[in-house]
Amino acid sequence: MEHTARLHPPSANLARGLARFTRQLSPATLPDDVWRKSTHQILDAIGLAFASRHFAFAAPALAGIAAAGAPGEGTVIGGGDRLQPRDAALANGYLIHGLDFDDTHPGSIVHPTVACLPTALAIAEATNATWGDLIAAYAAGMETAIRLGRAVKGGFHHGGFHATGLVSHFSSAVIAGKLLGLSEDQLVSAQGIAASTSAGVQVFLENGAWTKRMHPGWGALAGITAAQMARAGFHGPDRPYEGKFGLFDTHMQERAGEVDTESVIQDLGKQWTLMDTAIKPFPVCHFIHGCAEAALSLRAQVTDLRKIEAIVCELPAPTLPIVAEPAATKKVPRSDYEAKFSVQFVVAACLVRGRFTLAELDDASLADPEILAVADKVQCIVERDTAFPKYFSGTVSIRLGNDRTERRSVPVNLGSGERALNLEAIVEKFRANAALTLPKAEVQATLETLLSAGQETLVRDVARVLGRR
């Protein structure tokens, strides 16, 4: 096994670099565009938490978390539940990630907000911190999660790990540690402790199980625990990332030498990777978005779906095992969660319905004979010309009768890069999601509270609205 420790001298200690950056960060030093981007992502995430309460997967998880946890003062978004901070963070992480509609950083293939916000909200509320304190801690955690994922270039997924599940333990430890006032040494220890809990496997792909939904919240719970233990004097490893048998060594195995360890701390505070985070326009795995958009743009050219002879979807090679294989199973998803990871189903639904919303994931849609008939005609192949993982590209070709073929390529998926969703689109998405559980007046009041929150706003005042108190 090649150890990444050989690639870095001791002066390049990654945990210490992240700790130092985190300690130095303050609301006053955050660039305006970073503040603005952070608030947009938080708004999006909170809307998703409200929406998740509308679906069947929410109640069993919340009941289990409450039974295993303890009452406290931590707000659970969308309900009157009050739990201990760790338990509230787990619950909110579950709700935000439940629909797989939350933001993604393409280059790292990580959902960063989904653990960063629950951790920041729980500890900021517990410590009576300001909204500015929350945003600064959130930004530090976002940079941690994204940079760790980016360094492995998608390598965690190749090994069967859910990258968000892994990195969320570290980002949450950093966030909780900052809000708890940990020293630099304690922040290093907190990250080291988090290395012993960092987990998340993708076996859920076999049967559409619910476990992926809990990964980020579990990372938030574990990160808070790590920070509290470090605060109490518990010592963790000081090289949890690049050390022998550290994160990169154990989870990348023979590919450990490919890890760009230096990028984790390079230009911290100068280059803000969170600015490249993409907010989703479709409630499915981000790997499918390019093909979904291509299919929607082709719908006008396919007036009679019965004339479709074949559909070819081209996707980046690393995504095929996750969203296209095994084809026989992907073409007939058994649950909404399986459908979210089926390019065959999503493309077919786009062609049949002319849209892909949460409604296309209900039981009636999963059993729609027209959608299933079109899905059966989909073949998936490797896309040769792609900027993946920077963008989630996709190409769809539809073969019709009389040797006619219609083809569309989407090199930059909607929501990413220069095609990032603007505030108007994010607000529209928030309204639609929040309206699934909130009356119209509450949707508006919550929106106004979030958009008007400033540096000195108390998090407890915001949380009171989120908890519907």
The DSSP annotation for 356-390 comes to: -SGGGGSHHHHT-HHHHHHHTTEEEEE-SS--TTT
Residue segments in the chain with a per-residue pLDDT below the cut of 70? 1-11
Pull the structure tokens for residue 307.
Answer: 């004339």
Its CATH class, for the domain covering 14-279, is: mainly alpha
Q: Cα–Cα distances in Å, from 171 out to 202, 267, 274, 425?
A: 20, 18, 13, 28
Give the domain ranges of the chain: 14-279, 286-413
d(CA 61, CA 111): 20
d(CA 358, CA 173): 33
Q: Note the pLDDT of residue 4.
A: 54
Q: Cα–Cα distances in Å, from 323 out to 178, 381, 418?
A: 37, 12, 25
* 286-413 is classed CATH 2.60.40.1930: no
Q: In the chain, count H helices and then E strands.
A: 21, 6
d(CA 409, CA 411): 6
Pull the structure tokens for residue 46.
Answer: 């909170």
d(CA 15, CA 170): 9
- The DSSP annotation for 219-260 comes to HHHHHHHHHHHHHTT----S-TTTSTTSHHHHHHGGGGGG--
Q: Note the pLDDT of residue 209.
A: 84
d(CA 199, CA 161): 8
Q: Note the pLDDT of residue 8.
A: 46
pTM: 0.93
Within 10 Å of residue 33's Cβ, how many Cβ atoms? 10
Q: Note the pLDDT of residue 52.
A: 97
Within 10 Å of residue 454's Cβ, how many Cβ atoms? 10
Q: Note the pLDDT of residue 10.
A: 32
Q: Note the pLDDT of residue 290.
A: 98
List, in order, residues 6 or more apart from 457 with CB less than 8 Å away.
Answer: 130, 131, 132
